[in-house]
Amino acid sequence: MDFGFNLSPSSAVELDKVDTSLFRELCRIEPGARTCIGCGSCSATCTASEHSGMSVRKLLLSLQRGKMRDVEKMLTCCMLCGKCTMVCPRGINTRRIILTVCRLYENVEGRI
């Protein structure tokens, strides 16, 4: 029977099976990455968000879930304007986090 809609594919992530080494390395260099509360202020302020889906909140979540391709795509959309850093209620230097992730990605070739 056609109901006119389908069930969405599961978005469950088996955390025991994903590679979170990049996120752990990021937290070692930038401990602030662990203090994100996911409030979304950075996403709401982001200049690139509306057209590209860039979001520091989403970037950190994707790193924790091993979604490396999503992270890579977001990195190419950031303009490094720094607006997200100005609004973060936890005082996280989000711009520096993005730059650090970019540097980590330089060494990640072949892992994604």
User: Smaller CB distance to ligand SF4: residue 66 or 88?
Assistant: 88
Q: Residue 61 Cβ, how far from ligand SF4 at the closest point, in Å?
A: 9
Q: Residue 30 Cβ, how far from ligand SF4 at the closest point, in Å?
A: 11
Cβ within 8 Å of residue 26, ≥6 positions away: 33, 63, 97, 100, 101, 104
Cβ within 8 Å of residue 54, ≥6 positions away: 46, 48, 74, 77, 78
User: Smaller CB distance to ligand SF4: residue 17 or 69?
Assistant: 69
Q: Which chain residues interact with ligand SF4 by CB under 6 A?
A: 36-42, 45-48, 54, 56-57, 78-84, 88-90, 92, 94-95, 98
The Cβ-side half-sphere exposure at 68, using a 13 Å CA radius, reads 14
Question: In this structure, are residues 97 and 34 in contact, taking their beta carbons and an 8 Å threshold?
Answer: no
Q: Residue 70 Cβ, how far from ligand SF4 at the closest point, in Å?
A: 14
User: Smaller CB distance to ligand SF4: residue 31 or 40?
Assistant: 40
